[in-house]
């Protein structure tokens, strides 16, 4: 073990592979030093484990109704988070719901920021007409209220989880494009971009290899800040009957379905609400830590 660590920590690695592993290890050490980021990482890992082992962990079926057990308060034997209006165990529903949440989050992360990053860097790098056209399109998307636009899209595509995620992605890329473009404009005229242009690099190589790494940190920060909003928008669409459909245990759907009993049976909404809160917090903390790790300059401090 110590041999591996010395190999990883070697300040003068002898091969590209060793350098890459070493940097990953140093990145992990930097992340570990940041206690808040470690909390975020733990929450994210727990979320992943929960979704994988949901069938093993869940004491009850998340969908089967049992009307004789309606509204059992939390901390009761057998139902430590209580039951909802159909007598379903809330803990089991939260466990299965983590799968849906993770699915939505991953799908949005893989689409909106990537699209925004590409559009923003391309607009910023080429400037001129390309910039004007792409940025006006961005403005049009920004001008619509997010939920209304998502509603329109779902109405066209038809309700369902995948369509809801697509709608969310289509409404949330413009801010990423803006951020990426702003970063690109500052980087574009720098000497190191001039140097690689002078070496004969084409625009694709320059944008993906040289400009995007500089835009990534600010985009990552935005993504993690937006994650809570994404989960809530998904819930909103579900509530309007356009996203995830009942009786699937989606967290946002669970919050909205408990709204009717908020004063008497507060736990029906509160428990999934807490789950959303904890997961959003986890993503925020993790994102903050990741930004430090992604910046090699911070390693010297």
Partner 1 sequence: MALIEVDNLSVTFLTKGHRVRAVDSVSLSVDTRESFGLVGESGSGKSTILRAICGLAPISGGAIRIGGEPVATPRGKAFSRKVQMVFQDPYASLHPRHTIDRTLSEPLAIHGIGDSDRRVMAALADVGLPTGFRFRYPHQLSGGQRQRVAIARALMLEPEILLLDEPTSALDASVQAETLNLLSRLREERGLTFLMVSHDLAVIDHMCDRVLVMQHGRAVEEFPRADLAAGRMKTDYARSLFAASAERMG
Query: Does the footprint of partner 1 cover residue 297 (CB under 8 A)?
Result: yes
Q: Measured from the CB atom, is 22 or 160 closer to partner 1?
A: 22
Q: Whole-number minimum distance, CB 100 to partner 1, in Å?
A: 36
Instruction: Round to whole Å and give the CA distance between 126 and 207.
Output: 10
Contacts of 12 (CB under 8 A, 6+ apart): none
- Region from 91-99, 147-155, 258-266, 293-301 binding partner 1, contact rule CB under 8 A: 293-301
Binding mask 10-29 for partner 1 (x = CB under 8 A): -xxx--x--x--xx------
Quick one: which of 209, 259, 262, 277 contacts partner 1 (CB under 8 A)?
Answer: 209
Contacts of 8 (CB under 8 A, 6+ apart): 18, 21, 22, 25, 26
Quick one: which of 95, 100, 177, 214 contacts partner 1 (CB under 8 A)?
Answer: 214
Quick one: which of 45, 75, 140, 194 contacts partner 1 (CB under 8 A)?
Answer: 194
Q: Measured from the CB atom, is 106 or 195 closer to partner 1?
A: 195
Instruction: Round to whole Å and give the CA distance between 6 and 9.
Output: 5
Give the burial string for 21-50 (b: 16+ CB within 10 Å, else e).
ebeeeebeebbeebeebeebbebbeebeeb
Q: Whole-number minimum distance, CB 271 to partner 1, in Å?
A: 43
H or E element at residue 241: none
- Region from 72-80, 114-122, 195-203, 249-257 binding partner 1, contact rule CB under 8 A: 195-203
Contact predicate 120/215, CB 8 Å: yes
Quick one: which of 97, 210, 256, 286 contacts partner 1 (CB under 8 A)?
Answer: 210
Q: Which residue has the tokens 């869940």?
A: 58
Quick one: which of 200, 204, 263, 264 contacts partner 1 (CB under 8 A)?
Answer: 200
Instruction: Round to whole Å and give the CA distance between 73 and 149.
Output: 39
Query: Does the footprint of partner 1 cover residue 75 (CB under 8 A)?
Result: no
Query: Does the footprint of partner 1 cover residue 213 (CB under 8 A)?
Result: yes
138: phi then psi, degrees, rounded to nearest 5: -60, -45
Q: Measured from the CB atom, is 16 or 136 closer to partner 1?
A: 16
For 32, the 3-state DSSP assignment is helix
Q: Measured from the CB atom, is 213 or 241 closer to partner 1?
A: 213
Query: Does the footprint of partner 1 cover residue 198 (CB under 8 A)?
Result: yes
Query: Does the footprint of partner 1 cover residue 291 (CB under 8 A)?
Result: no
Site for partner 1 in 215-274 (CB under 8 A): none
Instruction: Round to whole Å and give the CA distance between 232 and 146.
Output: 12
Contacts of 75 (CB under 8 A, 6+ apart): 82
Interface contacts to partner 1, rule CB under 8 A: 11-13, 16, 19, 22-23, 190-192, 194-201, 205, 209-210, 213-214, 295-297, 299-300
């Amino acid at each position: 073990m110590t041999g591996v660590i010395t190999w990883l920590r070697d300040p003068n690695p002898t091969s590209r592979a060793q350098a890459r592993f070493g940097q990953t290890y140093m990145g992990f050490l930097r992340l570990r030093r940041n206690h808040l980021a470690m909390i975020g990482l733990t929450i994210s890992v727990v979320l992943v484990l929960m979704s994988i082992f949901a069938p093993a962990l869940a004491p009850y079926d998340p969908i089967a109704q049992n009307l004789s057990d309606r509204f059992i308060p939390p901390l009761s034997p057998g139902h430590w988070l209580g039951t909802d209006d159909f007598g379903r165990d809330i803990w089991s529903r939260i466990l299965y719901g983590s799968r849906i949440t993770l699915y939505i989050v991953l799908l949005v992360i893989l689409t909106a920021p990537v699209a925004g990053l590409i559009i923003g860097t391309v607009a910023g790098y080429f400037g001129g007409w390309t910039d004007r056209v792409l940025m006006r399109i961005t403005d049009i998307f920004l001008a619509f209220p997010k939920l209304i636009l998502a509603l329109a899209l779902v109405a066209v595509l038809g309700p369902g989880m995948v369509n809801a995620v697509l709608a969310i992605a289509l409404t949330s890329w413009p801010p990423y494009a803006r951020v990426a473009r702003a970063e690109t404009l500052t980087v574009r005229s720098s000497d190191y971009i001039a140097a690689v242009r002078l070496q004969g690099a084409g625009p694709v190589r320059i944008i993906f290899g040289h400009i995007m790494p500089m835009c990534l940190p600010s985009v990552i920060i935005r993504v993690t800040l937006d994650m809570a909003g994404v989960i809530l928008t998904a819930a909103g669409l579900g509530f309007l009957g356009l996203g995830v459909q009942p009786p699937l245990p989606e967290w946002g759907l669970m919050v909205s379905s408990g709204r009717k009993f908020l004063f008497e049976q507060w736990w029906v909404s509160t428990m999934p609400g807490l789950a959303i809160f904890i997961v959003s917090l986890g993503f925020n903390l993790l994102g903050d830590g990741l930004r430090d790790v992604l910046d090699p300059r911070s390693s010297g401090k």
